[in-house]
């Protein structure tokens, strides 16, 4: 759906801005549709796609389940942090293929609804990087906790190693909300015993030159910094995961 410059009705504008790029992990205000080329490109197709693409890759996978921050909204896919992670993996000689399962605008609830699809096939590691849109819309923290825990449960049930990337709610929602929101990730990491990246946008959020004009989405330079601190946590896990045999719920089929 495109949003034309000439959308007549404010309703339409609203509707479209919501449906289209707007809440693509962005505040409705800053993220008006049609203003950005949104060149967030395709994730490599999953191996079980109806028509296997020419670049079929049989390596075990590392899935990044995320939102527009993962999808690389507003920057080139080559600059998005999952692509950078792929490069690090290749350089380190770790035979994992990164699958960018980032969908702009997705909340933790949306992530939950597609986690099964994302886990299909030989997935070894899943980086869960959700919550940005929940934060911008100040969705109830209980909801976030419930959705994320189910996502982790499903992945772990298949023997997939989960890495959780934390997100922060903006301070304008008040101290209570911000604290409760942050706490969700800590609690879950402890509860499920998964490694935690405390804040995906650590060192990037709020820094003028590392963000696009909406003040939400990182620039290419910002994405490099994200890749840096994600890599620090991910590297040992990835190395470990690739040497393990394929998990039980893997290639054989669906859980």
- Residues carrying an active site annotation: 68, 214, 217
- Tell me phi and psi for residue 180, to 5 degrees: -60, -40
Residue 23, number of CB atoms within 10 A of its CB: 22
Q: What is the dihedral of CA 44, 196, 23, 19, to 10 degrees?
A: 50
Q: Of 35, 59, 88, 114, which one interacts with another protein (CB under 8 A)? A: 114
Instruction: Choose the stretch contacting another protein; rule: CB under 8 A; options: 158-166, 206-214, 228-236, 243-251.
Output: 206-214
Q: Closest distance between another protein and the C-beta of residue 77, in Å?
A: 8
147: which 2 tokens?
């959705």
Cα four-point dihedral sign 4, 10, 15, 21 = positive
Site string for another protein, 184-203 (x = CB under 8 A): --------------------
Q: Closest distance between another protein and the C-beta of residue 21, in Å?
A: 7
127: which 2 tokens?
């980086």
Asked if residue 38 binds another protein (CB under 8 A), the reply is yes
Phi-psi region of 206 (alpha: psi -120 to 50; beta: other; left: phi over 0): left
Q: Closest distance between another protein and the C-beta of residue 212, in Å?
A: 10
In the bound state with another protein, the residue whose beta carbon lies nearer, of 44 and 166, is 44
Q: Of 91, 176, 209, 245, which one interacts with another protein (CB under 8 A)? A: 176
Site string for another protein, 216-255 (x = CB under 8 A): ----------------------------------------
Q: How far apart are alpha carbons 164 and 185 in whole angstroms?
A: 8
Q: How far apart are alpha carbons 253 and 250 in whole angstroms?
A: 6
Instruction: Choose the stretch contacting another protein; rule: CB under 8 A; options: 108-116, 190-198, 227-235, 243-251.
Output: 108-116
Asked if residue 153 binds another protein (CB under 8 A), the reply is no
Q: Of 70, 83, 86, 147, which one interacts with another protein (CB under 8 A)? A: 147
198-to-116, 125, 164, 188, 229 alpha-carbon distances in Å: 25, 18, 8, 12, 10
Q: Closest distance between another protein and the C-beta of residue 124, in Å?
A: 16
Number of chain residues interacting with another protein (CB under 8 A): 79
39-to-36, 79, 214 alpha-carbon distances in Å: 8, 11, 16
Instruction: Choose the stretch contacting another protein; rule: CB under 8 A; options: 85-93, 130-138, 155-163, 234-242.
Output: 130-138
Closest to 144 (Cα-Cα) out of 136, 153, 135: 135
Q: Closest distance between another protein and the C-beta of residue 254, in Å?
A: 12
């Amino acid at each position: 759906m495109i949003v034309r410059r000439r959308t007549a009705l404010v309703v339409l504008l609203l509707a479209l801005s919501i449906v289209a790029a707007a809440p693509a992990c962005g505040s409705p205000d800053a993220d008006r549709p049609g203003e950005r080329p949104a060149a967030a490109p395709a994730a490599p197709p999953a191996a079980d796609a109806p028509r296997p693409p020419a670049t079929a890759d049989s390596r075990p996978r590392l899935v990044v389940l995320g939102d527009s921050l993962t999808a690389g909204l507003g920057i080139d896919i080559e600059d998005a942090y999952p692509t950078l992670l792929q490069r690090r993996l290749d350089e380190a000689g770790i035979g994992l293929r990164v699958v960018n399962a980032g969908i702009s605008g997705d909340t933790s609830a949306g992530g939950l609804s597609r986690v099964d699809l994302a886990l299909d096939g030989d997935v070894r590691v899943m980086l869960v990087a959700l919550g940005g849109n929940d934060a911008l819309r100040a969705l109830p923290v209980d909801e976030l906790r419930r959705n994320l825990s189910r996502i982790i449960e499903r992945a772990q049930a298949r023997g997939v190693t989960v890495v959780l990337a934390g997100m922060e709610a903006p301070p304008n929602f008040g101290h209570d909300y911000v604290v409760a929101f942050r706490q969700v990730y800590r609690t879950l990491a402890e509860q499920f015993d998964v490694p935690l990246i405390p804040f995906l946008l650590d060192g990037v959020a709020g820094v003028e030159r590392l963000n696009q004009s909406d003040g939400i989405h990182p620039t290419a330079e910002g994405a490099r910094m994200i890749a840096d601190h994600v890599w620090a946590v991910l590297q040992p896990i990835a190395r470990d995961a690739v040497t393990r045999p394929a998990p039980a719920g893997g290639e054989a089929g669906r859980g």
